[in-house]
Structure 1
Amino acid sequence: MTIVVRPAHTSELGDIGELTVRAYAEVLVDGSSYSTHLRDAATRAREAELYVALLGDDLAGTVTFCPQGSPWAEIAQPGEGEFRMLAVDPRHRRQGVAEALVSTCLERARELGYQALVLCSMDVQAPAQRIYARFGFERAPDRDWSPVEGVDLRGFRLAL
């Protein structure tokens, strides 16, 4: 089945938020309020660029692309784009959805003339990190950080 990636529609924001929470359920720290943040697709759509991947009529995945100046960017430096909250519905994993969303972010970063694309990932997200490696992302330890106690984020960067 063909994967279609496009900007999110306003009518989909609730479903996008719920999909994001489902996709991150395995890595959420118990008692974390991060699920509220993940669920807030409406704010991401306003303050960044929110994309969805469709498999047929199914909402299969989403990603937030953060252009320069977006308050959602966490580690991007001048001349870099960033993506966050790459989420694939557990029912649609291993079908190329994540790859299609990452490709969209790469295309967008190139369109904007950025020199690099960056992201953060947790150690428990090894499957996602394998995807990033296939695209050529390299570890960027100088971008590692911890937003809260017990959550260690690892930086990755791809020169464009």
Structure 2
Amino acid sequence: MRVLFRARSLHDLDGKTDVNNVELLHELKFDQTAALYMTAGGFNNMKGLSDLEKDFESESWAASSGEFDLANTFVAKTWQFNFKTPTGKSGTLTFPMSAQLAQFKVDIHDGRPSGGGGPLLYKEWRFKGNVTSGTGIFKSSIIPPTTYFLVFQGRGNDCDNAEDFTHWPH
């Protein structure tokens, strides 16, 4: 299996942001819902989301498959995610684009060709940094240095396009 891994700065040698990558991030579209991932320990292993525990266990949340309504923006190299529960509670997480991008491209040998010729590669872009603020349901859980780990996944050729990144893990 051929794996290409690049850990690189999102800035050129002059310290300026790579305009192409930032432009691609502006073009990415998120789903309008997000799921709350929990381990078998449930809320016992989570800190800062006690406001959601009763809602999560209620019938209204169960009817929505444990999903939040989600709206997001990416402006001035900052992501802002607005979440709303089925019972109407809401909160916003804000975090800046990290200066580092970990990038993976893998030929998984499934025989699928890409539109540009060559194999259809599995791709990941990984960002890690500090959450700058949390409001509403997240307010009590954002204690510096709260970190985020954001992963975009998809398939395509070696050239990156917004349309290639169709998933973010949940």
Q: TM-score range by the shorter chain?
A: 0.3 to 0.5
> Which is higher, the Rg of structure 1 or of structure 2?
2
More strand by share: 2
Q: Which has the higher contact order (CA 8 A, sep 6+)?
A: 2
More helix by share: 1
What TM-score results when the alignment is normalised by the length of structure 2? 0.32
What TM-score results when the alignment is normalised by the length of structure 1? 0.33
